[in-house]
Amino acid sequence: MAAMHSLRQRRPGLFLALCLAAVSVLSACGSKEPDQRAAFIQFLQTRIVDRPGVRVPRPNEDEKKSFGPYLADYSVITAFNDTLSNSVSKPMGELMSKGAFRSVGDVVARRGDIQLVKGELGNLSAALDKERARADAAHAAMKQPDDLKSVYDKAYGKTVTLPATTFMEVFPAVDATLDQTLRVADYLQLNRNKVQFSGGTVMTIDSETQGELNKMLEDLQARAAALSTAQGKLQALTYGS
């Protein structure tokens, strides 16, 4: 009986030791998060925030593992930029090339191309709006520690918010230029009996038509200058210059 009593007395101590061991194991498992967060913060700070221009580097396999669950937060940035590149930037460059013209005569001859570019431009703008809304919703739903949130917000602003905002400045400038180009094309077509094309220039048979055409071309030149300024902002954003 004495031996049984002694065993009963030891059991609480054994139970306490097991509990402490379990707590130790759980603490060891949870210790990965600070390291993962630190690795992710360093990546964002040194590879995005501190570098000029818009850069969205792709982490290697080791870096992906080091981020742990925070890799999902970074995928919001990469997904937006993939869509921006493939569904907006590249198609827009192709459209601009298709709608470009070398002379006033081209404006009339390629009116159909210019009209098509204008229509497609609206689709690109809608695609950008949709993807930015998706990224913003995912960003707003994130639950991040304060130290990570501070750096992530800077990286997000630089790689998502700023590019989207700059592109949205370019779209109206392109649209306004195309609108005025179409007006010139329609005017020249309407007054085709009063104008003559010689190389890259256009001549009219009366001063009234010449005055109206000059005014329209001056307006087109002003809109083209505004477009060039907007494109310059986009280039400066991309290359950090």
Chain mean pLDDT for the chain: 84
Is the predicted pLDDT of residue 204 greater than 90, yes or no? no
User: What are 197's strand-pairing partners?
Assistant: 202
Q: Output the pLDDT for position 207.
A: 87
Angle of the 71-83 helix axis to the 32-44 helix axis, nearest 10: 30
Token pair for 28: 């060891």
For residue 51, what is the DSSP state?
Answer: S
Q: Nearest CA to 84 among 161, 151, 137?
A: 161
* Residue 131 in tokens: 């993807």
Q: Which residue has the tokens 């809304």?
A: 133
- Please tell me the pTM assigned to this model: 0.77
- Residues 6+ positions from 23 with CB-CB distance below 8 Å: none
Question: What interhelical angle do 111-140 and 71-83 show, nearest 10?
Answer: 170
Whether the Cβ atoms of residue 71 and residue 142 lie closer than 8 Å to each other = no
Structure confidence by residue, pLDDT tens digits, 147-197? 999 999 999 999 999 999 998 888 898 889 889 989 998 998 888 888 887
> What is the tens place of the pLDDT at every residue in 35-58?
999 999 999 999 999 999 888 999
% of the chain exceeding 70 in pLDDT: 85
Is the confidence at residue 72, as pLDDT, over 70? yes
Decide if 169 contacts 228 (C-beta within 8 A): no
What are the structural domain ranges in the chain? 84-241
> Which burial class, exposed, middle or buried, applies to 142 when counting CB atoms under 10 A from its CB (0-12, 13-18, 19+)?
middle
pLDDT value of residue 31: 67
